[in-house]
A and B are shown apart, each in its own frame.
Chain A
Amino acid sequence: MAEMNDTPLVSRRTQRVLWMGLSLGVIMLVIGFLTEPTRAWSSLFVNAYFFMTAGLAGAAFLALAAVSGARWHLPFRRIAELLIATVPLAACVMLGVIAWRFAQLIGDHTETAHPLSFWFKEAWLEPKFWLIRTSVCLAIWTLLSIVMLRQGRRSQPHTITGSETAFAAMALIVFAITLTVASVDWTMALEPEWFSTMWGVYQFSGMFQAGLAVMILLAISSAERNAQFRSAFQVDHLHDLGKLLIGFSCFWMYIWFCQYMLIWYSNIPEETSYFMVRTRGDWGPIVIASIIMNWVIPFFILLPRTAKRSVTVMKRVAAVVLIGRWLDIYVMVYPSTQGATPNFAWMEIAGMLCLIGGTPLAINAGYSRLAVRQHEASGSQVQLHLNV
């Protein structure tokens, strides 16, 4: 048990590099804020949203597993809990990002003419009400994630208690409502006159798919570093995660296409505005790239059984899915805030640096706490589990 701590998830050297990347990203964003505030905000928002939803996906995964009576995920439930452990931090970041936008909206006094049917949206998107809703959603998620982590800590290795299942069922209902509200408020409201009734489920599909990809990468790297976890995390677990990844890739594509086709078919100007910008001109290839990375590649590569059981293949596909997820959010946000031509320069790189540097650091914080706790408990019992 003593070797538990020997190899951290992220080595000290890599940690230093990540801290440097994160600080550089933050500094660049501050400079961006002084020069081009809306663009700096967009860049920060894309990455904060990625971070936030990845953490939530871990919670959704565990809750769904508990509700469906699954037991197969128990040997690596700590991996999902590592993701959940990032939710409070992500919620703080997100609150900052939304408050920044709030300050921008309050300062903006330009009146725009809206159609008469717009009165409800005007009331709904009233900045103060909007900020309150966001805060409530973030507070609920933080609370749910803390309760889930507590339950996980108290749980026995191979069981899920009835109270955990009941809590998971309640959490899923609350989560479905708050996620829909938050995604409508944050991303759909970037183009206030546009609407899609599939928006909530579209956000969920992308979020869950990316969450699975992060969990696959985390599980593989934990197994590489920790002999105990390696003996618990079998190739069958990887296989099952691969099946879920291919399934949710298809789900994402299905939902994406449903939304696209309904809008394309009815061809109403107030609905088509979203896809007009995104499928024509320079955004077109980026949308196609996100489809290739989120569905074409995972689907065709992960179809054979041997691919889902191969660590190398799964690692690469999961990485591709994460890039695809980033592009998906980028295409969702940037045309609304930055106009019809894609722009990718130092400001976008700054946001990405924050994400790439910050996420492993945040997860590693949970991972090293987990290793320490394992040490305290060592000697008492052999547990094929990582303790968060």
Chain B
Amino acid sequence: MKISACTEKVCVSFARECDLLAAIQVAKQEGLPLLDALTPYPVHGVETAFGWKSSRLTWVCFICGMIGAVGMLWFQHWSAAVSWPLDVGGKPWNSLPSDIPVAFEAAVLLAAFGSVAALFVACRLRPGKDPGDLPSRVTNDRFVLIFSGDSPGGGQANIEVAMQSFHPVEVQTLP
């Protein structure tokens, strides 16, 4: 189920990442309608606990980097040797060594911008987007699990009982 299609979300906050990881495993075993986890920093093992496939963002990064490197090499060759041949210190027009640093920088720049742009597109993010209702302290220091409140077995009472042994700090239902 997509998180955007869900009208009622049950958010369980934890104070420690080990509680979050254990809670994900139990929720998976019991078939609770898990949607997502929000953490203040990348937590090792969350994706495997969820059973998510690895992200394709790395491919976007690699391809953008390659486009940057090859494109910049071509552009420098075209501008310094084809379109307007330039004599720099008596070097040949098509001097590959002098093109490498710029091609390297362009590769890094495009790889970085490309992956950030891809992330924004994939998450439908944009500057000024309304974040909606958020669980408290989620952007601060809380580890939050989100369950679908609409699905069977997804009521707040049910989830609260299931999560009790993992020291939840707070359980909220948000639209």
Q: Residues of A at under 8 Å CB distance from B? A: 257, 260-261, 264-265, 267, 303-305
Is there an interface contact between B62 and A264, defined as CB atoms closer than 8 Å? no
Number of residues of chain B lying within 8 A (CB) of chain A: 10
Given contacts A267-B89, A305-B54, contact A261 B97 (CB under 8 A): yes
Interface residue from A257, A303, A305 paired with B100 (Cβ < 8 Å): A257
Chain A contact residues, majority secondary structure: helix
Digitize B87-100: 1 where CB-to-A-CB distance is under 8 Å, 0 elsewhere.
00111000001101
B101 within 8 A of A: yes
Q: Which residues of B contact A304 (CB under 8 A)?
A: 58
Is there an interface contact between A303 and B101, defined as CB atoms closer than 8 Å? no
Chain B nearest Cβ from A58, distance in angstroms: 27
Chain B nearest Cβ from A187, distance in angstroms: 23
Q: Which residues of B contact A264 (CB under 8 A)?
A: 97
Chain A nearest Cβ from B94, distance in angstroms: 14
Distance between Cα atoms of A303 and B111 in the complex (Å) = 14
Closest to B88 in A: A265
Q: Which residues of A contact B62 (CB under 8 A)?
A: 303
Distance between Cα atoms of A29 and B24 in the complex (Å) = 64
Distance between Cα atoms of A260 and B96 in the complex (Å) = 12
Digitize B53-74: 1 where CB-to-A-CB distance is under 8 Å, 0 elsewhere.
0100010001000000000000
Q: Which residues of A contact B97 (CB under 8 A)?
A: 257, 260-261, 264-265
Distance between Cα atoms of A261 and B95 in the complex (Å) = 11
Q: Which residues of B contact A305 (CB under 8 A)?
A: 54, 58
Q: With A261-B101, A265-B89 given, can you name 10 additional A-B contacts, CB distance below 8 Å?
A: A257-B97, A257-B100, A260-B97, A261-B97, A261-B98, A265-B97, A265-B98, A267-B90, A303-B62, A305-B54
Distance between Cα atoms of A265 and B54 in the complex (Å) = 44
Closest to A260 in B: B97
Q: Residues of B at under 8 Å CB distance from A? A: 54, 58, 62, 89-91, 97-98, 100-101
- The 3 nearest A-B residue pairs measured at CB: A261-B97, A264-B97, A257-B100
Q: Which residues of A contact B100 (CB under 8 A)?
A: 257, 261
Distance between Cα atoms of A264 and B101 in the complex (Å) = 14
Distance between Cα atoms of A257 and B98 in the complex (Å) = 11
Q: List 5 A-B contacts (CB under 8 A).
A: A257-B100, A261-B98, A267-B90, A304-B58, A305-B58
Distance between Cα atoms of A261 and B100 in the complex (Å) = 9
Chain B nearest Cβ from A195, distance in angstroms: 20
Closest to B59 in A: A304
Q: Which residues of A contact B54 (CB under 8 A)?
A: 305
Closest to B95 in A: A264
Distance between Cα atoms of A267 and B54 in the complex (Å) = 48
Distance between Cα atoms of A305 and B55 in the complex (Å) = 11
Chain A nearest Cβ from B151, distance in angstroms: 32
Q: Which residues of A contact B91 (CB under 8 A)?
A: 267
Distance between Cα atoms of A111 and B87 in the complex (Å) = 42
Closest to A266 in B: B89
Closest to A236 in B: B44
Chain A nearest Cβ from B60, distance in angstroms: 13
Chain B nearest Cβ from A297, distance in angstroms: 16
Closest to B100 in A: A257
Closest to A264 in B: B97
Distance between Cα atoms of A250 and B98 in the complex (Å) = 18
Chain A nearest Cβ from B67, distance in angstroms: 16
Distance between Cα atoms of A260 and B90 in the complex (Å) = 18
Q: Which residues of A contact B101 (CB under 8 A)?
A: 261
Chain A nearest Cβ from B6, distance in angstroms: 30
Distance between Cα atoms of A303 and B66 in the complex (Å) = 13
Chain B nearest Cβ from A279, distance in angstroms: 11
Q: Which residues of B contact A303 (CB under 8 A)?
A: 62
Closest to A304 in B: B58
Distance between Cα atoms of A303 and B91 in the complex (Å) = 35
Chain A nearest Cβ from B95, distance in angstroms: 8
Distance between Cα atoms of A265 and B98 in the complex (Å) = 8
Distance between Cα atoms of A264 and B96 in the complex (Å) = 11
Distance between Cα atoms of A124 and B101 in the complex (Å) = 35
Chain A nearest Cβ from B48, distance in angstroms: 11
Closest to B98 in A: A265
Distance between Cα atoms of A304 and B56 in the complex (Å) = 11
Chain A nearest Cβ from B54, distance in angstroms: 7
Distance between Cα atoms of A265 and B97 in the complex (Å) = 8
Closest to A303 in B: B62
Chain A nearest Cβ from B159, distance in angstroms: 31
Distance between Cα atoms of A261 and B96 in the complex (Å) = 10
Distance between Cα atoms of A305 and B47 in the complex (Å) = 14
Chain A nearest Cβ from B76, distance in angstroms: 14
Closest to A305 in B: B54
